[in-house]
Amino acid sequence: MRRSAALLLAGAVAAGLAVAVLPQTFASAAAGCRVDYTITSQWPGGFQGDVRITNLGDPISGWSLAFDFANTGQRITQGWNATWNQSGSRVTAASQSWNGSLGTNAATGIGFTGSWSGANPVPASFTLNGTTCTGSVAPTTGTPTGNPTTSPPTSNPPTSPPPPTGTTPVAINGQLRVCGVNLCNQYNRPIQLRGMSTHGIQWFGSCYNNASLDALANDWKADLFRISMYVQEQGYETNPTAFTNQVNNLVDMATARGLYALIDFHILTPGDPHFNLDRAKTFFAAVSARHADKKNVIYEIANEPNGVSWASIKSYAEQVIPVIRANDPDGIVIVGTRAWSSLGVSEGGNETEVVNNPVNASNVMYAFHFYAASHRDNYRAAVSRAASRIPLFVTEFGTVDYTGSGPFDQASSATWLDLLDSLKISYANWTFSDHEESSAALLPGTCARGNYTGTGVLKPSGQFIRGRIMTADNFPTS
């Protein structure tokens, strides 16, 4: 990290630019537009750039931003909130349907991750619809604190990890961390995890055994196993010790297969997480102590808050996270969002409540849930906007309607997964079970028969999701 920062600093000095400690913001102003460009994260060979476009002229109904990198060694590897293209050193970003209209003084945010060789990923100039946005370079100084004008808080990056010695997701990626808006591996490179969620383990515990986890790891080639432990509905509150032990055993089984294990504290009814605050503290104290030395455990502390404010959810999170951190200071924590983890959209809100008031903790991501037949363009727009400002993790989604039933909507499901892939947002599908509902991947009776491999045991939704998950992962190691 220090080596790459030094190279960037040296390159900027050579280019005659004023520089400061990251994050650096380069603000260019003109009669018709202003562009604020921020390097929010940086690692050996790569960086993340956030771009804020402000229209200072007449209202526009669509826009195209163009700029030039300092040399052709800089390449866009992933972009969001715009259609990105690059030819040589020239980069263009075109508006999407939902962010193309900008009134006078209106602004929108876009972003990207890039690779680089040489020493200076700072663009040379910007134009908006052909109008040059010029001005002096105005860097800022300071360390990210979670304020949305900079970037979410991050932990210290790992130092020169050795090459991976195995081929499982955990062997390759090791301990994960949040870097900027991304989930990053031990090499500080953004990655996406893809996997499956259990149904309630109080009902479908017989579905989760050596044979089924072997199928997930080897046949499906999954990266992630979400362990859904209901708190109410005949769950944890009825026998805390037994359910804690059941979760621990499933984490151990996932660990043995090199899968990441996502422990889901599945609150649903009542939707106020404070109702289960003491139970959450007891449960997470136990499981974080039990698995503190593992590199593959992720903690989801509130499945689907509903009927409560974001401020209340945030308060709950800031009381539970220290309990985990006391045992496991490095583990990723995922916080549910308002309105059944829809970033507030299902109750008439949007992502700004989280963007403007993030949880005061490091290595935190925010849950988003969707059901493809029910949640469409306005939900996708919220994810696209939020993904440039906060780190998201889709810890649950279905290919059907929000009840978990109804017809399999392949078209909307494919649109959703294409979006998540483009943004490197990790996901777990609901569910790896043989429930009768159409969202379940397995045909009824599969768990009793004990064969989980191949497509013959799968419903149409399961066949589709397996095909998406088993495509090759992109886990960069340098």
Active site residue: 351, 353, 396, 437, which one?
396
Q: What is the rounded distance in angstroms from the CA atom of residue 40 to the CA atom of residue 49? A: 6
CA angle 468, 471, 475 (to 5 degrees): 115
The string of DSSP codes covering 179-197 is ETTEEE-TTS-B---EEEE
Q: Which helix (H) or strand (E) holds 11?
A: helix 2-14
d(CA 150, CA 20): 14
Q: What is the DSSP letter of 326?
A: T
* Whether the Cβ atoms of residue 320 and residue 303 lie closer than 8 Å to each other: no
Instruction: Identify the active-site residue in 304, 351, 353, 437.
Output: 304
Instruction: Measure the CA–CA gap between 72 and 14, rounded to whole angstroms.
Output: 17
Cβ-based neighbour number of residue 12 at 10 Å: 22
Burial of 59 (0-12, 13-18, 19+ CB in 10 A): exposed
What is the spatial order of strands in the sheet that 83-87 belongs to?
Answer: 83-87, 90-94, 64-68, 126-128, 131-133
Dihedral angle, C-alpha 87, 88, 89, 94, nearest 10 °? 0
Q: Which residues of 143-178 are buried (b: 16+ CB within 10 A; e: fewer)?
A: ebebeeebbbbbeebbeeeeebeeebbbebbbbbbb
Q: Is 304 a catalytic residue?
A: yes
Q: Which two tokens stand for residue 25?
A: 């913001």
Nearest by Cα to 93 from 57, 49, 59, 44: 49
The answer to whether 111 and 181 have CB atoms below 8 angstroms apart is: yes
Count other Cβ atoms within 10 Å, centred on residue 291.
22
Active site residues: 304, 396
